[in-house]
Amino acid sequence: SQKIEQNSEALNIQEGKTATLTCNYTNYSPAYLQWYRQDPGRGPVFLLLIRENEKEKRKERLKVTFDTTLKQSLFHITASQPADSATYLCALGGGSSASKIIFGSGTRLSIRP
Amino acid sequence: DVKVTQSSRYLVKRTGEKVFLECVQDMDHENMFWYRQDPGLGLRLIYFSYDVKMKEKGDIPEGYSVSREKKERFSLILESASTNQTSMYLCASSSNPPMNTEAFFGQGTRLTVV
């Protein structure tokens, strides 16, 4: 069955450092991969999308890479700030069922001052 | 401001009751989704719909059904609520490629079955 794994349930880093989150998947050939941020008590909010033919995407302090051979995406937040503390979810879409979007379990990121 | 609205923020229901969770979107999106979120398990897809009256099972459809009679509205039905369906339920909507495919989420419904 299709599976998405986000390797770390929780990640705790010092303010100013780069946070790197990992998303691996199996039994899936997505057309795109997305990253979302979720704050407590709220629904996820979209951050970035990267397509299967793209290697890297950037948006301000965020960078996403996508390796379809390794079936892995890395999500980086540079110059991290306490306000970046949240749960980050990766999601896959556009596979054999084009409309379907499935999510990983998330990584809870804490940035300490 | 684009919106996905879920009918209730909190619900408490009794075991065996039939429960309806309603979701409305105002973005004219083709796709709508129902997920449940439990600690350590992330968002698990229950059902999704890619058009009016069309639906597909997600990863955990057992004990649930859905209805999409109008494009903007997607309902999740718990035929006979059980305590293991106590969870946070999230509705989302999205467009098809080549439009932006990001999912927009509602605020969630925290359902407790007693």
**pLDDT tens column, B32-66:** 999 999 988 889 999 999 999 999 999 999 999 99
What chain B residue is nearest to A104 in terms of C-alpha separation? B42
Residues A24-81: tens digit of each pLDDT: 999 888 889 999 999 998 999 999 999 989 999 999 999 999 999 999 999 999 999 9
A-chain residues near B50 (CB < 8 A): 98-99
On chain A, the residues whose CB falls within 8 A of the CB of B108 are: 41-43
Q: Is B88 on the interface with A (CB under 8 A)?
A: no
CB-based contact A43 B92, cutoff 8 Å: yes
Q: How many angstroms separate the CA of residue A26 from the nearest CA in chain B?
A: 15
User: Per residue in B74-100, pLDDT tens?
Assistant: 999 999 999 999 999 999 999 887 666
pLDDT, tens digit, for every residue of A19-40? 999 999 998 888 899 999 999 9
Cα(B7)–Cα(B73) distance, integer angstroms: 11
Nearest CA in chain A to B45: A102
Contact call for B106 and A89, based on CB within 8 A:
no
Q: Do B103 and A34 touch (CB under 8 A)?
A: yes
Q: Test B43 with A46 for CB contact under 8 angstroms.
A: no
Q: Express each pLDDT in A84-112 by its tens digit.
A: 999 999 999 887 777 889 999 999 999 99
Query: Cβ of A100 and B56 within 8 Å?
Result: yes
